[in-house]
Amino acid sequence: MVDPITAVKNSCARIAALSSSRVKINDEACEKFALDLVSRLGDLRASCCGGDESKKEDTTFHDYEDEWTSLNNNINTTGRRENPVTIEEEVSAMATLHLLNFGHGHKQLLRELKLGKYKFGGYGSAYVTMMEGVGRATLKGTMSSQRMVDWTPIETKEFFFLPSDCLLASQITDVLRETGSALLSKGYNSLGGFIIQILSSSTSNNTVSSFVRHVIDLIPAFRDEGTYQLPDGEIMTVHFYKKAFL
């Protein structure tokens, strides 16, 4: 069986080589775009950060740091739970974030809903939207496999602030249910527990390829693949696995 890294390198290299003749690059336009982007970024930083370099980091789970610290100290500041967050829960939260990081095609919707706020202003970041949703859900309770299986559209609306009838909301609900079912079918109580067991298993060779293979074999949502028809009619599968590698 070809390892994931080799599959990604070979399939992406082949499709890029076959498509290169149809790609035209305008160097002058690229340079103009880059300079314009730098200029806009500088303006945004100046207006949103007041020139303070310390405020320019990307949003991360550290935005929940106070609440997570309080939970770990068994101090109930949120009114939602009193038990401390475990390592398994933290791993589950981060893995679930990457599991759901597929919303780049929904930028316009997120802008209209004013979700996914960028650090320098504006809305539309799918990554931030997923991060905040997973953070809220985790603070409400353990993100177990059974909870994923039982996940409802109402919960997606509650934690991710998305309308129940939009495609992105349906995708989140479906992926969580599918993942929970896959985990339970193999006896894993959570996504974090599954990952921790892979890393701690004495039978694992502990390589990146081995880890990613375990993840994509069990979890369909981590199996990033695309099917393309080549000019000669051949159907080719291109492997990405970006979310699993992250």
**How distant, in Å, are the alpha carbons of 20, 54, 219, 222 from that of 244?**
27, 31, 9, 5
pLDDT confidence of residue 199: 84
Longest pairwise C-alpha distance within the chain:
64
Check: CB of residue 136 under 8 Å from CB of residue 97: no
Among 129, 135, 221, which residue's Cα sits nearest to residue 178?
221
pLDDT at 53: 43
145 neighbors 188 (Cβ within 8 angstroms): yes
Task: State how far the Cα of 175 lies from the Cα of 165, in Å rounded to an integer.
Answer: 16
The whole-angstrom separation of Cα 2 and Cα 233 is 24
Distance in angstroms (rounded) separating the CA atoms of residues 204 and 219: 18
For the chain, 246 residues long, give each residue's pLDDT as a single digit of tens: 567 777 767 777 777 777 766 667 788 888 888 887 777 665 555 544 444 444 444 444 444 444 444 444 443 444 455 566 788 888 898 899 888 987 678 889 999 999 988 877 788 888 889 988 998 898 888 899 999 999 999 999 999 999 989 999 999 999 999 999 999 999 999 999 999 988 887 555 667 778 888 888 888 888 777 777 777 777 877 766 666 665
Please work out, in degrees rounded to the nearest 5, the angle formed at the alpha carbon of residue 135 by the alpha carbons of 174 and 179: 25
Amino acid at 237: T
Q: Which of 56, 152, 163, 159 is nearest to 106 (CA)?
A: 163
How far apart, in whole angstroms, are the C-alpha atoms of residue 50 and residue 5?
A: 43
Give strand pairing partners of 190. 144
Residues 237 and 225 sit within 8 Å (Cβ to Cβ): yes
**pLDDT, position 184:** 97
| C-alpha to C-alpha distances, 218 to 40, 88, 158, 200, nearest whole angstrom | 43, 18, 28, 17
| Terminal Cα distance for the chain, rounded | 22
Phi, psi torsion values for 182, nearest 5 degrees? -65, -40
For position 179, what pLDDT does the model report? 96
Task: Enumerate residues 6+ apart whose C-beta is below 8 A from 57.
Answer: 119
